[in-house]
Amino acid sequence: FISGAAGLIAHGLCPRARDYMFASHRSAEKGHRAVLSHLKLRPLLDLGLRLGEGTGAVLAMTLVEIAAACLSDMATFGEAGVSDREDEQVLASEPS
């Protein structure tokens, strides 16, 4: 909720700042839903956290890091040797 309040201030000073924000989670604090709504941010997580120590941010950053790793490090179907489904169907229908 604290970072959301900071986000509101940043958005008030420079509306384009919102383009560089993401909501890690929806806090259980009453005002946080209003903050997210005003900033038009959809949180990555909604775990009912309200510890105020950045726990939601730590969890969300792990998701962001995993997503980035999938995009940058995951093999393509060709690199992984995954065959084309149509080829498999043709081969399966041919007599042995």
- 25 in helix, strand or coil? strand
Annotated catalytic residue, options 29, 53, 65, 94: 53
Based on the residue annotation, tell me whether 53 is a catalytic residue of this protein.
yes
Any alpha helices (H) in 14-84, and if so which ranges?
Answer: 32-39, 55-73, 77-80
Which positions are annotated as active-site residues?
A: 53
